Amino acid sequence: MTINFIRHGKTTGNIERRFIGRTDEPLCDTGIEELKSIVCPDCDILISSPMKRCVQTSEILYPHKEPVLYSELRECDFGIFEGKRHAELDGDPIYMQWIANNGMEAPPGGEDVSDFRARCVRGFLKAIDDNKTACTISIIAHGGTIMSVLERFAVPHKEFYEYITENGHGYVTGFDGETIKIIRKI
């Protein structure tokens, strides 16, 4: 099965480098314009996170397909850091501790990182199982969601942050039910 992983287009929060996990922010004008110039591979089934930025990306990249929404594919909840920029938080001892641990702990009031990653993997497997007769699936999701799934299944194995991708871009992959092989970047 071919799976296209595509990160949603830019939002104002992305441009301002804010933590916008649970914030249901729409695409900004720049993000919309950039997406209009991207040609994505066709698919049999279109899957998306239910967040506005992903649904809007789905509508722009695949205007003739109705996305199937999976809530498990939402981005991580950044708790008290949500909506803030590094510059605003720099020097805050709680934030500095979180950064020192590469963001691998739950931010106060936010989602535990291992729970987030497990949720993304469950959502991915559910989406694949629900659509196992499809030859090609496109998944429109968040950077953290894509990185979580690829870290778990891609071979050769790489660490979470090594799978980061730009807004509106991603990977064409092959999935054999156990491992993901990255074929090329989108």
Domains of the chain, start order: 2-185 (3.40.50.1240)
Amino acid at 156: P
Q: What are phi and psi of 49, to 5 degrees?
A: -65, 150
Confidence of residue 102 (pLDDT cuts 50, 70, 90): confident
CB-side exposure of 143: number of CA atoms within 13 Å? 16
Which pLDDT belongs to residue 146? 98
Which pLDDT belongs to residue 77? 94
Which segment of 38-47, 50-59, 82-91 scores lowest on mean pLDDT?
Answer: 82-91
Average pLDDT estimate for 18-28:
95
Which pLDDT belongs to residue 110? 93
Which pLDDT belongs to residue 166? 97
Q: What are phi and psi of 34, to 5 degrees?
A: -65, -40
